[in-house]
Amino acid sequence: MNIVVLVKQVPDSGTERQLDSSDNTVARASADNVINEMDEYAIEEALTVKESQGGEVTVLTVGPDGATDAIRKALSMGADKAVHVSDEAIHGSCAVQTSAVIAAALSQLEYDLVICGAESTDGRVSVMPALLSERLGIPHLSGARKLTVDGSTLKVERQTDGGFWALEAQTPAIVSTWDTINEPRYPSFKGIMAAKKKPVETKSLADLGVDAGTVGLATATSQVLDFAGRPPKGEGVKVTDEGDGAEKLVGFLASQKLV
Amino acid sequence: MPVQRLVPTQEAADLLELTRELAREELAPRVAQAEAEEQFPREVFRTLGKAGLLGLPYAEELGGGGQPYEVYLQVLEEIAAVWASVGVGVSVHGLSCFGLATAGTREQQERWLPEMLGGELLGAYCLSEPHAGSDPAAMRTKAVRDGDAYVITGEKAWTTHGGQADFYKVMVRTSEHRSRGISCFLVPGDAAGLSADPAERKMGLTGSTTALMRFEGVRVDADRRLGAEGEGLPIALSGLDAGRLGIAAVAVGLAQGALDDALAYAKERETFGVPIIDHQGLAFLLADMAAGTETARAMTLHAARLKDAGLPYSRQASIAKLVATDNAMKVTTDAVQVLGGYGYTRDFPVERYMREAKVMQIFEGTNQIQRLVVSRALAKGVPAQTAVLA
């Protein structure tokens, strides 16, 4: 089974992240960039499927030159090869435009299964797998907490607030994963050394046959018009125990969907 | 404060990133409890072994990572910045493989080294004895030849991983000649007659087991002798310089960890309406901690680069060990000062760092021994040398 995993290099969500004041896009050049955390679960799932089913795992990313860090991480975890779509014209693209680029790149690859994280921590639009499903005309099994592969049949437990939905589809298909699906492996030093020798193909928009005028900030379907810093932390809720403290606490936690 | 590093390759940079990830995810959540409960974290060593971090400075054809000491020591430093006991353990394990990797026959290496460098097996080494620490040639533990085996009898003190290790690199006396009467053996941890006393009750590094090992007629096959009979002391001594660099790196890491904690606290804690880092008295204390730690790192890596270039580095290794461990003692003491009363409590890790630093001035050659090495080199005369990097 040939699997393509979509990965994205994002500013580390554990650090102070910025927007670039010149065009209101995510400030990537100055950020401490890492592989999108959710993507590590997608890579792990792809490697697990490969280990049981055979085949190849290809990593696909769209991003500036620095995105090679995310590619190397995926390859050092065990992916076989990578495709890096890099083109200045893509800067500032919205999710819809980016999905056209990724769909074009996927069309040049042979795949049975596409796996991606359910969201990226920078944009958090969380629509990419659905957009790709539509563009490629393949089923989308979303929000997986469990994936089972049986021949060309995919079964997914789709995580919901109250439990899960059982989804089933035939390959080729796209599966998006939550962080409940597995525990990603660490790379090993051997993996890091092996990654050096794995093929990474860089493609431009021209290589994909995508018209540069259809992507980028100027023609994006959504643009950030303005932004402001995070407001200072509010006072919070004080619970005074009048014999019903526990009830109030549980009520608060439930309202935040924490219990 | 992130450390600024200069490494020779992209894979070294990736390796350091992996090390930081492992330290953050696997070491940091466990360190406080394991140290408080004096529990040896065997599982952590398996994780590091699986990631390939236990054989980094050894050649790839032997099953190692083929990394220069310059890179290996920075990995060690990152580990020790989060957990000194584990940093010491990695250094000791590396050193316990040294005899086999340098003096073992090809057959011996193929038989044992992959599992040792791969981290499946944890190593320890036995050199010191209760009465013979700084003067190893005064050792009394004996190996007597008996057919195709040796029988070892005696005691070895201060064994890091004592009772936990899967194999022990042991220096023993095979004749009465002071220096040429010592031989080196690789003894399996489960050998009959080998036992560990209850672990020493130490001031610090409590997550690392240190014990006296008793050899009561331990029978070891002759093919477990590394190098020729009587050539053990050069094997032990040639490993010491490398071991000193390992401890220097661990001390740099410990100091960096203490500095990071003190700095974070000094930015948050307010007195007289401002963060205490805005008071010059404390700010300068922190500046000195940073200056000492960066200097210790630079010296350690300079010695490592000499070693990597195949140049003599014994004196520089001693200076690095001396400077880095004295600095760790000073920086960890000052970190307690920065945290004030809180620093003196066991609710914060800085008092532990201070206890951990002390032993680094003692083991792997006391700092008095390091001064002896340096002063002897000075007395002998140090030739001027300008080597060119290949």
Task: Give the CATH number, domain containing residue A42.
Answer: 3.40.50.620
Given CB atoms, is B21 within the 8 Å cutoff of chain A? yes
Q: Does position B2 have pLDDT exceeding 80, yes or no?
A: no
pTM: 0.89
A249 domain-assigned: no
Q: Does position B134 have pLDDT exceeding 80, yes or no?
A: no
Question: Three-state SS string across chain A, please?
Answer: CCEEEEECEEECCCCCCCECCCCCCECCCCCCEEECHHHHHHHHHHHHHHHHHCCCEEEEEECCHHHHHHHHHHHHHCCCEEEEECCHHHCCCCHHHHHHHHHHHHHCCCCCEEEEECCCCCCCCCCHHHHHHHHHCCCEEEEEEEEEEECCEEEEEEECCCCEEEEEEECCEEEEECCCCCCCCCCCHHHHHHHCCCCEEEECHHHHCCCHHHCCHHHCCCCCCCCCCCCCCCCCCCCCCCCCHHHHHHHHHHHCCCC
Chain B positions in Cβ-Cβ contact with residue A74 (cut-off 8 Å): none
Are the Cβ atoms of A186 and B65 closer than 8 angstroms?
A: no
Q: Which among B14, B47, B50 is the nearest to A76, CB-wise? A: B14
- pLDDT confidence tier of residue B1, bands split at 50, 70 and 90: low
Number of structural domains (chain A) is 1
- pLDDT confidence tier of residue B132, bands split at 50, 70 and 90: confident
Chain A positions in Cβ-Cβ contact with residue B21 (cut-off 8 Å): 186
Given CB atoms, is B114 within the 8 Å cutoff of chain A? no
pLDDT (tens digit per residue) in B357-376 = 999 999 999 999 999 999 99
A240 domain-assigned: no
Chain B positions in Cβ-Cβ contact with residue A34 (cut-off 8 Å): none
Measured between alpha carbons, how far is B48 from B168 in angstroms, rounded to an integer? 20
Q: Which among A76, A188, A195 is the nearest to B50, CB-wise? A: A188
End-to-end CA distance of chain A: 39
CA-nearest residue to B50 within chain A is A188
A169 domain-assigned: yes
Give me chain B's average pLDDT, please. 95
Q: Does position A239 have pLDDT exceeding 90, yes or no?
A: no
A195 domain-assigned: yes
Q: Which among B21, B47, B53 is the nearest to A189, CB-wise? A: B53
Shortest Cα distance, chain A CAs vs residue B73, angstroms: 15
pLDDT (tens digit per residue) in A154-172 = 999 999 988 999 999 999 9
Shortest Cα distance, chain B CAs vs residue A164, angstroms: 29
A198-202, B235-239, B255-259: lowest mean pLDDT where? B235-239
Interface of B with A in 63-102 (CB under 8 A): 65
DSSP B191: -
- pLDDT confidence tier of residue A73, bands split at 50, 70 and 90: very high
A230 domain-assigned: no
Give the number of C-alpha atoms closer than 13 A to the C-alpha of residue A121, restricted to the C-beta side. 21
- pLDDT confidence tier of residue B383, bands split at 50, 70 and 90: confident
Chain A positions in Cβ-Cβ contact with residue B51 (cut-off 8 Å): 186-189
Task: Name which residue leads in pLDDT, B387 or B295.
Answer: B295
A106 domain-assigned: yes
Q: Does position B62 have pLDDT exceeding 80, yes or no?
A: yes
- pLDDT confidence tier of residue A218, bands split at 50, 70 and 90: very high
Given CB atoms, is B50 within the 8 Å cutoff of chain A? yes
Q: Does position B309 have pLDDT exceeding 70, yes or no?
A: yes
Instruction: List CB contacts of A176: < 8 A, sequence separation 6 or more.
Output: A42, A115, A116, A117, A118, A129, A140, A141, A142, A143, A144
Joined tokens for residue B79: 């580990």
Which among B1, B14, B48, B58 is the top mutation candidate for probing chain A, defined by the most A β-carbons within 10 Å of its own β-carbon? B14
CA-nearest residue to A34 within chain B is B17
Domain that holds residue A192: 3-219
| Mean per-residue pLDDT, B226-241 | 90
| Mean per-residue pLDDT, A29-58 | 94
Chain B positions in Cβ-Cβ contact with residue A72 (cut-off 8 Å): 10, 14
pLDDT (tens digit per residue) in A3-23 = 999 999 999 988 888 898 889
Q: Please say if B216 is a catalytic residue.
A: no
Shortest Cα distance, chain B CAs vs residue A196, angstroms: 8
Shortest Cα distance, chain A CAs vs residue B3, angstroms: 14
Joined tokens for residue A157: 């437990």
A232 domain-assigned: no
Q: Does position B179 have pLDDT exceeding 70, yes or no?
A: yes
Q: Which among B10, B18, B65 is the nearest to A187, CB-wise? A: B18
A258 domain-assigned: no
Give me chain A's average pLDDT, please. 94
Shortest Cα distance, chain B CAs vs residue A83, angstroms: 19
Domains and CATH numbers, chain B: 10-117 (1.10.540.10), 123-233 (2.40.110.10), 234-380 (1.20.140.10)
Percent of chain A with pLDDT over 70: 100
Continuous H helices in chain B = 10-22, 28-36, 42-50, 69-82, 84-103, 106-117, 232-268, 280-308, 314-343, 350-360, 367-380
Q: Which among B11, B47, B50 is the nearest to A193, CB-wise? A: B11
Measured between alpha carbons, how far is A43 from A46 in angstroms, rounded to an integer? 5
Which among B3, B11, B43, B58 is the top mutation candidate for probing chain A, defined by the most A β-carbons within 10 Å of its own β-carbon? B11
